[in-house]
């Protein structure tokens, strides 16, 4: 088993990213070989300012390390350091039918929202397939929105193997149902592109304000409420144990308990959970050279696996 996942440095890490991807990937680093990377080349599809991109990469590195990624156990690196990825991508491009990419929801959604697509945005699932297949990864922890992209990677691997022999490993998405779609403060899927996120790190006052602005219905303090219809309760589930959940659920149903109370309790559990991580993050942030050295070491390890696969692939397709 080889676990692999990546995240785009397209903004600050939020609760959806953390619970669907970071937490499960970090949790298994002691038992399974784990590759985690900051997908900076993916972030280029929206042409960020170069300085902003560099700073975001640094911030995502801090976030992962503060949340418990152990660079001795996990291979942690920056995507753009591995040049073999773009070489594999081109080879995979040539076995990928256009129709497969045209069917991708995430691309269609972005176009529907008025984004003028560049070729990078269209071809992005092939880059993601290269990320996965280059390391012969087996398990890919992601949120539900990435399910189709892992399926595309599997499809491309199969097409490649059918033509050139059994070289690439077929990956499997790993989606935890309870965190498959974490809601944002507007109740829709939390996403950096929708402006509805709660970041896991940052100024405490600002974060509290975010929790307080979670959209709820207009029922009054005394009314009995249905916890299962409330985004505050959905987020509370991420942190609470069964006893805490049962207690809050009773308070909702009994009435006399307002959404403001629930938001405050949720915020307190959030602070309890991320408070320690925040301290570690503040310490790490003072040593930029150390962070850079971790990413460099990780890239070296990743490159040695990447090199073996690309040699095999080159030979199979006739490029030697």
Q: Give residues in contact with ligand TRP (CB under 6 A).
A: 4-8, 39, 42, 128, 131-132, 140, 142, 146, 149
Report if residue 139 touches ligand ADP, rule: CB under 6 A. Answer: no
CB 173 → ligand TRP: shortest distance, Å? 9
**Beta-carbon contacts of residue 51 (< 8 Å; ≥ 6 apart):** none
Residue 182: contacted member of ligand ADP, ligand TRP, none (CB under 5 to 8 Å, by partner type): ligand ADP
Tell me how far, at minimum, the Cβ of 43 lies from ligand TRP, in Å.
Answer: 9
Alpha helices in the chain (DSSP H): 15-17, 23-27, 40-43, 50-66, 84-93, 98-102, 105-112, 119-134, 147-164, 204-212, 231-239, 242-254, 259-284, 288-317
User: CA 290, 18, 106, 55 torsion: positive or negative?
Assistant: negative
219 lines the binding site for ligand ADP (CB under 6 A): no
**Interaction between residue 176 and ligand ADP (CB under 6 A):** no
Of the chain, the end-to-end C-alpha distance in Å amounts to 30
Q: Is 134 exposed, middle or buried (0-12, 13-18, 19+ CB in 10 A)?
A: buried
Select the binding partner of residue 42 from ligand TRP, ligand ADP, none (C-beta < 5 to 8 A, by kind). Answer: ligand TRP
Residue with smaller CB distance to ligand TRP, 140 or 214: 140
CA angle 313, 314, 317 (to 5 degrees): 85
Binding partner at 132 among ligand TRP, ligand ADP, none, C-beta below 5 to 8 Å by kind: ligand TRP
Query: Out of ligand ADP, ligand TRP, none, which partner does residue 16 contact, by CB within 5 to 8 A per kind?
Result: ligand ADP
Q: How many Å apart are CA 123 and CA 120, to the nearest integer?
A: 5
121 binds ligand ADP (CB under 6 A): no
Alpha carbon 40 to its chain centroid, in Å, reads 13
- If binding is defined by CB under 6 A, does position 142 make contact with ligand ADP? yes
Q: Does 181 bind ligand ADP (CB under 6 A)?
A: yes
Map tokens 């990419």 to a residue: 101
Q: Is the alpha carbon torsion for 250, 251, 256, 260 positive or negative?
A: negative
* Binder of residue 34, out of ligand TRP, ligand ADP, none (CB less than 5 to 8 A by kind): none
If contact means CB under 5 to 8 A according to the sort of partner, which of ligand ADP, ligand TRP, none does residue 128 touch?
ligand TRP
Do residues 205 and 271 lie in contact, with contact meaning Cβ atoms separated by under 8 Å? Answer: no
Query: What's the length of the chain?
Result: 320
CA distance 234 to 15: 12
Applying CB under 6 A, among 2, 3, 4, 7 the residue interacting with ligand ADP is: 7
Q: Rounded distance, CA 306 to CA 81, Å?
A: 11
Task: Compute the least distance from the CB of residue 8 to ligand TRP, in Å.
Answer: 5
Q: How many CB atoms lie within 10 A of CB 241?
A: 8
Q: How far is the CB of 142 from ligand ADP (least distance, A)?
A: 4
| For ligand TRP, the closer CB: 81 or 131 | 131
For the annotated catalytic residues, the residue numbers are 110, 189, 192
- Total residues binding ligand ADP (CB under 6 A): 19
Q: Is 20 in the site for ligand ADP (CB under 6 A)?
A: yes
The site for ligand ADP (CB under 6 A) is made up of 7-8, 10, 16-17, 20-21, 142-143, 145-146, 179, 181-182, 189-193
């Amino acid at each position: 088993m080889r676990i692999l996942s990546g995240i785009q440095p397209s903004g600050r890490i939020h609760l959806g990213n953390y619970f669907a991807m970071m937490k499960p990937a970090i949790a298994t680093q002691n038992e399974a070989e784990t590759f985690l990377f900051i997908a900076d080349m993916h972030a280029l599809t929206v042409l960020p300012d170069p300085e902003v991109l560099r700073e975001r990469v640094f911030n995502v590195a801090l976030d992962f390390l503060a949340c418990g990624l152990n660079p001795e156990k996990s291979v942690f690196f920056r995507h753009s350091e591995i040049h073999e990825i773009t070489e594999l991508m081109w080879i995979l491009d040539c076995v990928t039918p256009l129709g497969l990419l045209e069917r991708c929801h995430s691309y269609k959604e972005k176009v529907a929202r008025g984004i003028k697509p560049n070729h990078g945005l269209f071809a992005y699932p092939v880059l993601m397939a290269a990320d996965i297949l280059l390391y012969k990864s087996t398990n890919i922890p992601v949120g539900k929105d990435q399910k189709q992209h892992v399926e595309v990677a599997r499809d491309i691997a199969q097409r490649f193997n059918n033509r050139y022999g059994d070289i690439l490993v077929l990956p499997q998405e790993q989606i935890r149902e309870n965190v498959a779609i974490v809601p944002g403060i507007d109740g829709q899927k939390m996403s950096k592109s929708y402006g509805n996120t709660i970041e896991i790190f940052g100024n405490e006052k600002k974060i509290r304000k975010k929790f307080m602005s979670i959209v709820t219905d207009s029922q009054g303090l005394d009314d009995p409420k249905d916890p299962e219809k409330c985004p505050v309760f959905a987020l509370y589930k991420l942190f609470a144990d069964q006893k805490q959940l049962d207690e809050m659920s009773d308070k909702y149903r009994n009435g006399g308990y307002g959404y403001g109370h629930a938001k405050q309790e949720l915020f307190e559990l959030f602070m309890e959970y991320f408070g320690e991580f925040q301290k570690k993050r503040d310490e790490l942030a003072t040593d930029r050279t150390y962070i850079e050295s971790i990413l460099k070491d990780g890239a070296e390890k990743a490159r040695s696996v990447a090199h073996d696969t690309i040699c095999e692939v080159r030979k199979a397709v006739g490029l030697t």
